Structure 1
């Protein structure tokens, strides 16, 4: 998720680059397994980035679609909860998110099946945006700083962090990940390390958005959200 902390700063896409799209196509072409729901979600994100859907027409003014506590609670713009994750600031933002989503989708869609995975992504998308709204309110009260109410985020990163928590939950405890190729870290803690490292490297990303994704992922792996997903799935299918 990209974020803007100032209530006077505006996202705006002026020129859409194809470089990130080319990299994404290369990533897809190298993949030996493209689960259908994962592929559909990636295509949907790309189409929205290029403003293919006239219904939206929002890609040139991302400030009108980004999700924030102020926009949702004070202005009552609830559609941002669903729309914001599918809009990206630039082609590289889109590429990194979709390349990461591809890897997680390959694992989880294969594990859960396409219909459950589609439901899971939908619920994680809504829950992550709602969690960001809640965290903005909490941070504003805790740090006595109203700017957290205006932290406005876009992008699929929160959903990806939630999926990463779920993916690592199904990874054996003894497995590990090498940070910077030489620092071994248990996959159990890697999302927290990535949360800090990404913020240090790219401070313009939404810390609250990524944290929201992690917390939503934990709500799934620890029961409550999984219970909701399972019950909705059983009713629908």
Structure 2
């Protein structure tokens, strides 16, 4: 079964490379997740994220290791197929360096949000929530979905129901939990909250401070491709440079 899944994911990757290409960081994350899943020495039960194992036992390395592990073949295949689309789309928009830093921050903050929600539920309801353990890349994928929808123009998703793109993450959160009750509802919710913190909160400013302005060279690239497609022999820097205000010569008045 693992070999079939590996062949299936490789087929998806090669198909995407043939059509559009996968950016390097997205491809590296996919290969890393597949390697960890197929390696016999890695056990998801030893790195899963829970309040007892992470907070009380002070095993903070689980915040980094839990997103890279998956329970079964279907779990890995669904997440990696989703990463091919969502990760490639965002990495092309913001650049590989910023995308790699963002994935690291999203993974850490999604884990912290997951632990915070579970701890709050344990205090309000029952201590069972402290023992719930979760692994997988799903939380980060939900954060990427919120960010991609935030960058896209507002509209409706095609289908029998009128669902706006900005609200698609909430609909997907409910549908996935209904179709797969074993999935981590709190983990997916944590990813949505981190994505909203980037789109509408201070997280975007923090990442901008570390990596620079978000669209630093996008305008240059857009103008370059526009000039190439139009067949114009114009330097892209000159075409993108805003026009300077006209200078008027001072006219002498005749007496």
Is the CA contact 1:89–1:154 (under 8 Å) kept in the aligned structure 2?
Answer: yes
CA distance in 1, matches of 2:86, 2:122: 33
- Does 2:136 match 1:155? yes
Moved more, 119-128 or 18-27: 18-27
Aligned residue number for residue 47 of structure 1: 35
Using the TM superposition, give the Cα deviation of residue 20 of structure 1 relative to its aligned residue in structure 2, in angstroms: 2.0
Instruction: Show CA shifts across 1:63-111 (max 9, x none).
Output: 2100011111111110101100000111221111011011011211110
CA distance in 2, matches of 1:19, 1:226: 39
What value does the CA root-mean-square deviation take over the aligned residues?
Answer: 1.3
Is the CA contact 1:19–1:91 (under 8 Å) kept in the aligned structure 2?
Answer: no
Aligned residue number for residue 220 of structure 1: 198
| TM-score after normalising by structure 1 | 0.85
Aligned residue number for residue 58 of structure 1: 42
CA distance in 2, matches of 1:95, 1:58: 18
The unaligned stretches of length 5 or more in structure 2 are 213-255
| Structure with the bigger percentage of strand | 1
Moved more, 86-95 or 154-163: 86-95
Using the TM superposition, give the Cα deviation of residue 232 of structure 1 relative to its aligned residue in structure 2, in angstroms: 1.9
1:62-141 paired onto structure 2 within 5 Å: 62-141=44-123
Aligned residue number for residue 156 of structure 2: 176
Report the secondary structure of 1:189's partner residue.
helix
Count of aligned pairs between the two proteins: 209
Q: Which has the larger radius of gyration?
A: 2
- Does 2:7 match 1:29? no
Using the TM superposition, give the Cα deviation of residue 133 of structure 1 relative to its aligned residue in structure 2, in angstroms: 0.6
Higher relative contact order (CA 8 A, sep 6+): 1
Instruction: Show CA shifts across 1:205-237 (max 9, x none).
Output: 101100010001111111311112111224xxx
- Structure 1 residue runs of 4+, over 4 Å off? none
| TM-score after normalising by structure 2 | 0.79
> Which of 201, 206, 226 is the aligned partner of 2:179?
201
| Structure with the bigger percentage of helix | 2
Using the TM superposition, give the Cα deviation of residue 118 of structure 1 relative to its aligned residue in structure 2, in angstroms: 0.6
